[in-house]
Amino acid sequence: MVIDLKAAPVTQDIDGQRRVEIMKFLSACGGITLVIGEHNEFDNYICRFNCDEYVNTRGDLNWLKWEPWYQGGIFNSVFCFDVIEHLINPGLFLKRLARFITNETNVYITFPYRHNVKYWSSTHFQEYDLDRFKTLVELCGYQIIREQHVILHRPWRFYLGFRPLMRLLFNKYHYNLYLLRLK
């Protein structure tokens, strides 16, 4: 399936660039896809082109009480876009996720690279560098099939004004995309 990047709900800001990178990273997903988190416009767009059917999760992802809306068994794909850094215990989440997938299921996880401490976000309970994420994945019984690391660029107007050179050199937005499967 070819995704029409021109028709995607995308802007030229960081969020728009992130969405384009996700769309380029995905493979076609047949069957039923589990989308982690609440329903949004971007998930709807992606799933329209990549999935036969998709469902979202319900419940608090930080505890064992979350579940898919669909109770029909195993999922062919899982989309977990920009969620894992917001979880208090991502290991518990990944262990619970294993109940709904097989070693053939493609699990797509994306997250920003760990920021410098002064740029840390109060909504991110976990900040990952590459080694830390790989350790988490291995401890939870997953393997990395494919990974991609990109630098997203802010719009040119972000570099206007006071200290534009410092922003250009030190405030890059690194973004990570992973395809995982159970071992």
pLDDT truncated to tens, each residue of the chain (183 aa)? 444 444 444 455 667 777 888 888 887 777 889 999 877 788 877 887 778 888 889 888 888 788 887 777 789 999 999 899 888 899 999 999 999 999 999 999 998 876 554 455 566 667 777 888 999 999 999 999 999 988 776 555 555 555 555 555 555 567 889 999 999
Domain count for the chain: 1
Spatial separation of the C-alpha atoms in residues 16 and 8, rounded to whole Å: 9
Query: What's the CATH number where 174 sits?
Result: 3.40.50.150
The residue range of the domain holding 69 is 5-182
- Coil, strand, or helix at residue 163? coil
Spatial separation of the C-alpha atoms in residues 95 and 39, rounded to whole Å: 22
Per DSSP bridges, beta strands 53-58 and 32-35 are parallel
Q: What is the pTM of this model?
A: 0.80
